[in-house]
Every structure is written in structure tokens, then in C-alpha cells.
Amino acid sequence: DLKATVLSAASPGEQKEMLGERLFPLVQAIQPTMSNKITGMLLELENSELLHMLESPESLRSMVEEAVEVLQAHQAMDTSYK
Amino acid sequence: NGSSSVNWPPEFRPGEPWKGYPNIDP
């Protein structure tokens, strides 16, 4: 599994990629329709938070729900400007 | 700024390089 020591050996971009590869299937299980964008959003968080989410399904779920709300608000804002 | 709000958030695609994180390590 993914440990902070493994991550620290990788470049910042690779770290996000490694975390994303692990988060994506979990996000997909919670919210299949927007999982690509949700994972993208989550990857903007600190790596330590992402590691915590990988270990705690409850925090992952609440972050995904939060991300969905932010995404929907963002999309609503986008379309109202058009 | 605010010119790229439409492109946010970047999409993560498994198996592809992650491009959403800006220019730390080009």
C-alpha cells in the first residue's frame, strides 16, 4: 500500500498521480458520474489529507460529497453566465 | 485572473499523466 515514505521519493507530479490512481476507483464507487472531476478536485488538497482519505472511508465519502456540491455550484455559476 | 474557470476542475484520468497540478516539475 501507499506510504508517505514512498510518496516522498517521487516528484510532486508523480505523488499526485499515485494518489489519484488509488483515489479514483474509490471515488467512482461513491459518485460514478463525475468521478474524473471529483478526483481532480481532491488532488488539489494536501497529500497528507489524501492519504488520510485513503485510510478512512468516512472522510473520503464526506469529501466526495463536499466536492459534488462545489462542482454543482460551479457548474450552475458557469451556465448562468452564458 | 479568472480566465480559466470553465476548465476547472481538471479531470483525473487513470493511466494518464496528471496534468492538473500546475508546473511544479515540468
Chain A residues near residue B6 by CB distance under 8 angstroms: 78
Closest Cβ–Cβ partner in A21, A44, A78 for B14: A21
Question: What percent of chain B lies above the pLDDT cut of 70?
Answer: 54
Cβ atoms of A22 and A43 within 8 Å: the answer is no
> Angle, nearest 10°, between helix axes A57-80 and A12-30?
90
Instruction: Enter the ipTM.
Output: 0.82
* The pLDDT value given to residue B21: 61
**Taking CB atoms and an 8 Å limit, are B9 and A44 in contact across chains?**
yes
**Three-class SS of residue A32?**
coil
User: Mean pLDDT of all residues in chain A?
Assistant: 91
* The pLDDT value given to residue B22: 56
Chain A residues near residue B20 by CB distance under 8 angstroms: 16, 40, 43-44
